[in-house]
Amino acid sequence: MWRTLHNYPVYSPPFRDAEAVLSKSEIAANFKYFLEQKERRVGYLTTYLSQFSLALRLEREGLFAVDDWLRRFSGYLVPRRDALYAFVEHEPEWNCGYLGLNVINDVAIFAGDYIISKNKNVRWDVYYGDGTKYDYEECGFGLPCLFGLLNAEYRGRPYSIQHEIFQCCSSGRYRLIHGGIGGVWDIPGELVRQLDYLTDPNPPAQGRFRLSIPGHNRHKL
């Protein structure tokens, strides 16, 4: 896996949060970079996955192959040290031992684009927080998120697809080291089920039951 990642392009926004919380102007600049790079990043991912005979397409039938690939390989994408911090803050930069984070990021972009292509309510935007004292600790703060979902859990709130895909890969990492953990991402086909749920423009009112993942808090990363 590390040999296949050797030349994977690094995603490097102009501002990285090392110690302080990014300002709104810095968050806006990072989001502009995201929009400028988004199509290119999916292209990088498409080329990369072709090494595994996987054709990346915005079609439901192709999602099963992506799901299988993630179950088999996603755990190798997560760095051994400071994975969560590096993923959220882009510090250290995503090169060397952190190259796998670029793939995780690009899978999330692909998944977000897939949701938008199937659900006209949804769009990419950036989350500046809700103005409360500790909003910078919220999932998705300062990052590109999906807005407009009508699902009960996310109605009126940003949905961080990056965090969700990171959780998927973190579960894969845990599974590599400790064996099966019985969490939601351990279920074959979970990616397809997740995206089916999020692409539904008229989701069920009660929301979707989510299994907990031991050792992970999916709401506060």
142 domain-assigned: yes
17: in domain: no
**208 falls in which pLDDT band (50, 70, 90)?**
low
Q: Which residue is listed with tokens 């599974």?
A: 175
Q: Token pair for residue 36?
A: 């400028």
pLDDT at 173 over 80: yes
* pLDDT at residue 70, rounded to an integer: 96
Q: Give residue 218's pLDDT.
A: 33
202 assigned to some structural domain: no
**121: domain range?**
24-196
Which pLDDT band holds residue 178 (cuts at 50, 70, 90)? Answer: confident
Contact between residue 111 and residue 165 where contact means Cβ atoms under 8 Å apart? yes
pLDDT of residue 185: 87
Domains held by the chain: number? 1
On whether residue 87 sits in a domain, the answer given is: yes
In a domain, residue 126? The reply is yes
Of the ranges 63-67, 115-119, 156-160, which one carries the lowest mean pLDDT score? 156-160
Is residue 215 situated within a structural domain? no
pLDDT value of position 155:
87
The verdict on residue 166 lying in a domain is: yes
129 confidence band (pLDDT: 50, 70, 90): confident
- Across 101-117, average pLDDT: 98
Note whether 66 and 191 are within 8 A (CB): yes
Measured between alpha carbons, how far is residue 71 from residues 9, 50, 77, 107 in Å?
A: 23, 17, 11, 13
221 inside domain: no
